[in-house]
Amino acid sequence: MRVIVVGAGVVGTMHAWQAVERGHEVVQIEREDEARGASLRNFGQIWVSGRAGGDELDTALRARELWEGIAGRVPALGFRANGSLTPVRTALELGVAEAALARDDAAARGYKLLTADEARAVNPALRGGFLGALWCERDAAVEPRTAQLALKKALLSSGRYTFVGGREVREVIGEGAVRDDHGVVHRGDFVVLCTGAWLGGLVRELAPRLPVRRVRLQMMQTAPLGETLATSVADADSFRYYPAYAGEALDALNAGQDQTPTAAAHKMQLLMVQRHDGGLTIGDTHEYEHPFRFDVEEEPYEHVAAVAESFLGRPLPKIRQRWAGVYAQCTDKSRVVHREQVRGGVWLVTGPGGRGMTCSPAIAEQTANELGW
């Protein structure tokens, strides 16, 4: 078959990967010369630990397996099975970690509750003070700024893949056919629209009541740390934003009102991942109200830097970059992604939210299976 994929972020690229793997011809169309959206502006985490039980966790675990398999063939993805640690400092935070350990699916996630000394044995860079840490062995990471380019290079080597950059798809003109802004018509057996946070224009026309919202976040990147950060690191504020931790213990933590005003106001958590060059990607905030600010605010950066330094027990290296990103998130929390046939032979796949980098290989596999590729 011939498959047209619109969008070259991680979700679109994984759909292209699935189609090529199954022997089909793929044309991937991207409105920028290369992808520049949330797929590059994220932590590169394959984040199993916080996923909701059931379908979401199953999707994340399958994606984790697929990421590792693809990385065996495309080493430039920078995949590493580094796991994650979430240090806790108070009895209420410890209670949430203990409740997570009591989940029926705790073993599937690789949960363990470590003492402070055990956590430092896993990640010696954590020299700050804390009571203990929730370890998730199944978490992993890739290099977000280069992963799509590495996948594209591998796809091009197949001989069944064409990348068309700098073209915006403007119109669906028939079953399995779209026209771009240069007037070129692209025809296939299937068109899959993976347009990320671009929800206006053609997407609004095809799906005017799309149950998806846009979310903005702020992040930053440091110079090399000068030592290895052996795991990804989160703080206990992250418990507030991931469904795996919902329950009485989290309710008690939220009622405790020990979150700083800055973290509460900007819906913040610490996530910290080391890049291959030794620098740290650190964030993040969550902004839901439209229109989004056009600038970035300094106070959240100061907060998240202070939390990171408190775990590391040392000053951060120089901050080299700061940025904001926007992703699309399903408003129906029971769904991992919104997948909808919007015209004959044309499907829209969007809204994975912060799960996009984690779940994209499995999301694409599910699309391929559902469409009978």
Domains of the chain are: 1-81+139-211+332-373 (3.50.50.60), 84-137+212-330 (3.30.9.10)
pTM: 0.96
Segment 343-368, tens digit of pLDDT: 999 999 999 999 999 999 999 999 99
Give the separation between CA 373 and CA 367, rounded to whole angstroms: 9
Q: Quick one: pLDDT at residue 256?
A: 87
133-174 per-position pLDDT tens digit: 999 999 999 999 999 999 999 999 999 999 999 999 999 998
What is the distance between the alpha carbons of residues 340 and 224, in angstroms, rounded to a whole number?
43
Contacts of 343 (CB under 8 A, 6+ apart): 172, 175, 206
> What local confidence, expressed as pLDDT, does residue 258 receive?
79
| Sign of the CA dihedral with 146 first, then 149, 151, and 153 last | negative
Residue 257 pLDDT greater than 80, yes or no:
no
Write the CB contacts of 8 (distance below 8 Å, at least 6 apart in sequence): 28, 29, 30, 32, 34, 35, 148, 152, 163, 165
Hey, which bits of the chain come out as E strands?
A: 2-6, 25-30, 45-46, 84-88, 111-115, 132-136, 140-141, 161-165, 169-174, 177-180, 185-187, 190-193, 212-222, 232-234, 271-274, 280-283, 319-330, 338-343, 346-350
Which one-letter amino acid corresponds to residue 217?
L
Q: What is the pLDDT of residues 166-215, one digit of tens each?
A: 999 999 998 999 999 999 999 999 999 999 999 999 999 999 999 999 99
pLDDT per position as a tens digit, 96-117: 999 999 999 999 999 999 999 9
pLDDT at 232 over 80: yes
What is the tens place of the pLDDT at every residue in 274-333?
Answer: 999 999 999 999 999 889 989 999 999 999 999 999 999 999 999 999 999 999 999 998
Among 2, 6, 4, 3, residue whose Cα is nearest residue 201: 6
Percent of the chain with pLDDT over 70: 100
